[in-house]
Amino acid sequence: MGVAFVAHCLLNQNSKVGDGAHCAGVYSPVVDVLRDKGWRIEQMPCPELAFTGLNRFWAVREQLDTAAYRRHCERLAEAVAGVIALRVAQGEDVVLLGVQGSPSMGVTVTSSDPLRGGRPEWPEGTAEHTSGEGIFVEEIRKALGRRGINFPRVAGETHALADHDEATQRAGIESVLDHGQGPGDGVTGAFWPAGGPGPSGSGVPPAGRVPPRAST
Amino acid sequence: MKPDARSFRIALVADRYVNPPPGGLDAVAAAVQAGWGVMQLPADDYPAEVAGPLLAEVAEQAEEFTRHGYGLVLVGDREGLAEALARTGVAVPDGITPDSYVQLLAFLNGRPAPAAARDAGRPPG
């Protein structure tokens, strides 16, 4: 048991980009895992909601990666890091549950397309998903680094990925929750759901592009 | 692609109902059942320097939802929330400190359809 810092939208799908809400409000497949395992929930703020608003377009990292958005994410990350620091100081195990494929909340898969911009039209299925972290997650990593705190183990909700499977998603989250105490990096920090798109379900994200299903 | 399934309804929920003690009231479960989203408020025992920035972000996000006609309610309370909301010009939403799961569920289900849901052509509830 420990504390799971969860992406805002996992408790509140109303914060999602238009056409992105998978359910009315709480995304229970993730909450159910945490409840079953007895983990405490800490909801992080949604970095995109207050900055780009409810009417935002689906976006990739390159469109959001501005100095102003970085500063916004840094401010939010400091707030989150303050809570993580509190929990770590109490000796509690901490994990971070993000949103795979998100330009902000991806933990091992984000969205990238350097050519996207201008008139918002692009071929459906453009290969935008790529290995890496979203901007907000990067800023959380930096904020924890400034405090000398190891980045926690991570897992992600995988709805946006082409091969999303709820059972695999649950198994992946359970695997990270059950891994036990220890820093994320070098342990399971580069977590990929078992059976996911990594080579032979190896738990290692593949290099380069990942089949897309949805953006933000 | 499936249609967007959001409910346009968000409950600001005190931490003790998000992370209830054994046998306590689980507002997240009620939100799932009633189709509401949840915005968690900082735990009561967080020091001001930790809770303050979190409350400021809750208020800023509540402001964006309010501007778009989403429905907000408050479940429980949190010291400093009213001040944080006031700084963004958002009134403290109607609230409840529920005695039971059934009471909370009835409260959530009894709320009027928010303007954003009506604009989107969604049926109430």
pLDDT in tens, A150-172: 999 999 999 888 889 999 999 99
Q: Is residue A206's pLDDT more than 50?
A: no
Let me know: does B31 contact B40? Beta carbons within 8 Å.
no
| pLDDT bracket for residue A14 (50, 70, 90) | very high
pLDDT in tens, B71-95: 999 999 999 999 999 999 999 999 9
**Residue in A14, A15, A43 closest to B40 by CB:** A43
3-state secondary structure chain A: CCEEEECHHHCCHHHCCCCCCCCCCCCHHHHHHHHHHCCEEEECCCHHHHHHCCCCCCCCHHHHCCHHHHHHHHHHHHHHHHHHHHHHHCCCCEEEEEECCCCCCCCCEEECCCCCCCCCCCCCCCCCEEECCCHHHHHHHHHHHHCCCCCCEEEEECCCECCCCHHHHHHHHHHHHCCCCCCCCCCCCCCCCCCCCCHHHCCCCCCCEECECCCC
Cβ <8 Å between A25 and B54: no
All structural domains of chain B with their residue ranges: 9-113
Give the pLDDT of residue A124.
64
**Residue in A12, A79, A86 closest to B10 by CB:** A12
Which of A8, A11, A76 would best serve as a mutation to test chain B binding (most B beta carbons within 10 A)?
A11
pLDDT in tens, A82-98: 999 999 999 999 999 99
Put the strands of the sheet holding B37-40 in their side by side order: B37-40, B9-13, B71-75, B95-96
Give the pLDDT of residue B1.
62
Cβ <8 Å between A14 and B1: no
Put the strands of the sheet holding A209-210 in their side by side order: A109-111, A129-131, A209-210
Q: Is residue B43's pLDDT more than 80?
A: yes
d(CA A177, CA B125): 35
Is A40 an 8 Å CB contact of chain B? yes
| pLDDT bracket for residue A27 (50, 70, 90) | very high
Is A76 an 8 Å CB contact of chain B? yes
> What is the average per-residue pLDDT within A46-68?
94
d(CA A124, CA A138): 28
Which of B10, B17, B38, B65 would best serve as a mutation to test chain A binding (most A beta carbons within 10 A)?
B38
| pLDDT bracket for residue A122 (50, 70, 90) | low
> What is the average per-residue pLDDT within B103-117?
96
Distance (Å) from the alpha carbon of B92 to chain A's nearest alpha carbon:
18
Let me know: does B8 contact B70? Beta carbons within 8 Å.
yes
Amino acid at residue number B28: V
Let me know: does A59 contact A103? Beta carbons within 8 Å.
yes
d(CA A134, CA A93): 23
The complex scores an ipTM of 0.95
- How many CA atoms, within 13 angstroms, populate the side-chain half-sphere of residue A100? 30
Q: Which residues of A65-100 are buried (b: 16+ CB within 10 A; e: fewer)?
A: beeebbebbbbbbbbbbbbbbbbbeeeebbbbbbbb
d(CA A18, CA B3): 10
- The per-residue pLDDT of chain A, averaged, comes to 84
Give the CATH number of domain B9-113; options: 3.40.50, 3.10.450, 1.10.390, 3.30.70.
3.40.50
Q: Structure pTM?
A: 0.84
Q: Is residue A11's pLDDT more than 80?
A: yes
* Closest residue by Cα to residue B18 from B27, B9, B8: B27
d(CA A213, CA A210): 10
Q: Give the residue carrying structure tokens 């109490």.
A: A90
B83 SS3 class: helix
Is B107 an 8 Å CB contact of chain A? no
Cβ <8 Å between B36 and A28: no
